Structure 1
Amino acid sequence: MRFLPCISLLLLVQLLAGCETLRLSQPAPPESPNVFEETPPAQAAPDATGQCPPVEAVVCAEPEVKVVERVIERKFETIVEVPVAKDKLVLGSEEYFVIEPGALRLKALVDTGAATCSLSVGDMTPFERDGNDWVRFNLSDGGDAEPLKIELPIKRHVRVARPGFERQRRPVVNMSLSIGEVTHMVEVNLVERGEFEFPLLVGRNFLKDAAVVDVSRKLVQGNGTAPAVGK
């Protein structure tokens, strides 16, 4: 019976050893999901010298804002009414006139910048008659008809300056110009030249108190006709 305590002690030691072996053989419990492993920050790779490049700051550009301004311009048209006397003709920049003597219908340039009328003639020859100065010249309307020979007394002489030409001394004679219902006896200076587009230039000495000029129009008074014989 004295061996019974020894046997019990051995059994107790065996039992304790078996429990410890069982605890060690169990797997470790899983980690708590609330525990996060901190990842070390990435470091720049060293360059050829073994030094890391400096850190550059990145600045984002501000967005471009375009402002569109709309300007509405309003234009107002002003109409100015210019009174025109009822007894005055309206002439364009080009008109046909009938000239006397000769009763020729000539194409004329209406020039408000010219003081007197001017007529292109041919074979102009001054001469003396009864102690007075006269002039003889040929006048043509540009057609195929034979030029008219006209002789008129010289009233005076004028000097005319034109750009690019020398000053000319021209004889001045009195002639009758007609257009529409208007006929005026006016001074006309004579010039001898060759080809011309306008054989007659009508100046202010005819237009004064007789007509107004609309430079934007031509042949307002039509093609013109020679006055009837006896009128």
Structure 2
Amino acid sequence: MSLVSLLLVAQLMSGCENLPEIGADTTATDAAPSPAGAEFDPSLCPVVETVVCAEPEVKVVERVIERNFEKIVEVPVARDKLVLGSEEYFIVEPGGVRLKALVDTGAATCSLSVLNLTPFERDGSEWVRFKLGDGEDDESEQIELPVKRHVRVARPGFDRQRRPIVNMSLTVGEVTHMVEVNLVERGEFEFPLLVGRNFLKDAAVVDVSLKQVQSKPKMPSFSK
């Protein structure tokens, strides 16, 4: 803004009492002041122009935030099924031997480690004779069972084995099932019994983060 414009605004605010002549030397100090009591002439004031400022342009930006939520699906579990840990104690019949078992959902059938596994023939049918113990003492039960069939089992680092399959009764907690069990002759072992899917599919669900969920197995009582 020029100096002249500033002076005009200042004079307008003060009533234009000492309005200098436009173009006059504003730096002169010998300008005669207005006589005291002189009448104010409004025509000497500059015309006031109304200035309207333009409104600033406002841009509205719509922001959309997408959120992904984890979907939780509840899987129903049958109430009449047991919950088993990765390790449980089972009672095996015949023999009534209590064994520490590894619950293996990757195995199709149950597997039992025995001693002195010997095949023989009885009444024209194939049978097997073996000893079964819990590994905690020297006593073991001698068991004889008919062979239902044979299965070939492949283990990493070992030759394929031909194993006999027999029917045996397995009890965990208060649940007992008769299932097919393949027999294998082994020496020292941590888990003499491996429980596979043929037992689990009708009896239990497995929580691999737990161990020994079920209490001591209880043999079923038969009324006479």
| TM-score bucket of the superposed structures, by smaller chain | 0.5 to 0.7
Residue 110 of structure 1 corresponds to 103
* Displacement of 1:225: 3.5
TM-score by length of 2: 0.66
Mapped to 2, the partners of 1:104 and 1:148 lie a distance apart of 8
From the superposition, tell whether residues 79 and 137 of structure 1 become closer, same or farther in structure 2 (CA, over 3 Å).
Answer: same
Residue 82 of structure 1 corresponds to 75
Are 2:130 and 1:137 aligned?
yes
Is residue 92–residue 169 contact of structure 2 (8 Å, CA) maintained in 1? yes
Instruction: Please list every run of 5 or more consecutive structure 1 residues that lacks an aligned counterpart in the other structure.
Output: 1-73
Residue 120 of structure 1 corresponds to 113
Are 2:196 and 1:203 aligned?
yes
* Displacement of 1:141: 0.6
Mapped to 1, the partners of 2:212 and 2:99 lie a distance apart of 12
Q: Aligned residues, how many?
A: 157
- Alignment partner of 1:181 out of 153, 174, 199: 174
Residue identity in the other structure for 2:219: P
Mapped to 1, the partners of 2:120 and 2:87 lie a distance apart of 34
Is residue 104–residue 226 contact of structure 1 (8 Å, CA) maintained in 2? no
Mapped to 2, the partners of 1:229 and 1:103 lie a distance apart of 13
Mapped to 2, the partners of 1:162 and 1:207 lie a distance apart of 22
- Alignment partner of 2:151 out of 149, 158, 166: 158
- Alignment partner of 2:210 out of 203, 209, 217: 217
- Alignment partner of 2:164 out of 168, 171, 184: 171
Mapped to 1, the partners of 2:158 and 2:194 lie a distance apart of 18
Give the secondary-structure state (helix, strand or coil) at the position aligned to 1:128. Answer: strand
Give the secondary-structure state (helix, strand or coil) at the position aligned to 1:81. Answer: coil
Query: Bigger radius of gyration, 1 or 2?
Result: 1
Mapped to 2, the partners of 1:228 and 1:129 lie a distance apart of 30
TM-score by length of 1: 0.64
Question: Residues 53-109 of structure 1: CA distance to partner in whole angstroms, max 9, x if unpaired?
Answer: xxxxxxxxxxxxxxxxxxxxx997765432111001000000001110011110000
Give the secondary-structure state (helix, strand or coil) at the position aligned to 1:127. Answer: strand
Mapped to 2, the partners of 1:174 and 1:166 lie a distance apart of 25
From the superposition, tell whether residues 205 and 169 of structure 1 become closer, same or farther in structure 2 (CA, over 3 Å).
Answer: same
